[in-house]
Chain A
């Protein structure tokens, strides 16, 4: 089994609050992450793909194509943005767990189509002290 991982970063703001709950309940649930005006992170993202190593190119996937897909589908959409405004988070709180899943679902089809490799894991590093994995653990 062989996998290639590419690391990216994008800065974004978010606010953890469940709209169906009161301010007091959100504050109890999410603590300082429920600050009504939001806060931000440099999100680190690891994108891992697996597949056959092409005998001609020696690659599972061309990292330049992975970069283009990430730029188009993640950085352009979420970088320097307020995640709560994005339709992907209209009905779910932009926790790093949900961000990892949204990024996975955004990338999976395009990676499959344009590289022939399979997206197996997305890791979101919200700060240097916490990270979240959606997919297969190493």
Chain B
């Protein structure tokens, strides 16, 4: 049986400013422009798993189990938090959607059963999203 992809979405609201702590305020302002000011987004995260449905349950992974992982790894860490001040992930890099998506991808890769994560899509707003995918086969693009 060919593998099946399943996608679950969550939404969370987070504040941030593009900032590299190793640079001065003026340098950050020059590098990141208006995005160096504190602002926020309603993020939407789509998480896609890829696998063979279990012959007994008919499921790739119980969505409840996936939601528990998303609650613990993503919602608890990021929802109604500040990416710069409330999380340890952006001490050396700005929380651009690219960097934020890579952090989320790493967290989920570590928390989900091996080999299940196909990719994620992080939508910052209705005009911009970032996809991270494991294999070139899925092409990430």
Contacts and interface: CB of A to CB of B under 8 A. Distances in A.
Interface in A34-63: 48, 50, 53, 55-60, 63
Given A7-B126, A58-B93, A2 B131 contact: yes
B43 interface: no
A58 B98 contact: yes
Size range of the chain A interface in the assembly: 20 to 34
Interface string A3-29: 111111000000000000000000000
A85 B25 CA distance: 50
Interface string B88-115: 0000011111110110000000000000
A8 B26 CA distance: 31
A3 B128 contact: no
Contact of B141 (A6, A64, A121): A121
B97 A1 contact: no
Most buried by B among A2, A57, A60, A63: A2
B127 A136 contact: no
A52 B139 CA distance: 14
Interface string B103-141: 000000000000000010100001111111111101111
Contacts of B101: 2
A59 B18 CA distance: 11
A1 B136 contact: yes
B6 to A, nearest CB: 15
A69 interface: no
A1 B140 contact: yes
Contacts of B95: 58
Given A53-B98, A57-B31, A58-B93, A2 B128 contact: no
Interface of B: 18, 20, 31-33, 93-99, 101-102, 119, 121, 126-136, 138-141
Given A2-B101, A138-B139, 4 more contacts: A1-B141, A2-B130, A6-B127, A138-B133
17 contacts: A1-B134, A1-B141, A3-B131, A4-B97, A4-B98, A6-B128, A53-B96, A53-B99, A57-B96, A58-B18, A58-B94, A63-B128, A120-B141, A135-B141, A138-B119, A138-B133, A138-B141
A-B pairs with lowest CB-CB distance, top 10: A1-B140, A120-B141, A58-B96, A3-B141, A136-B139, A58-B94, A136-B141, A58-B99, A1-B133, A53-B98
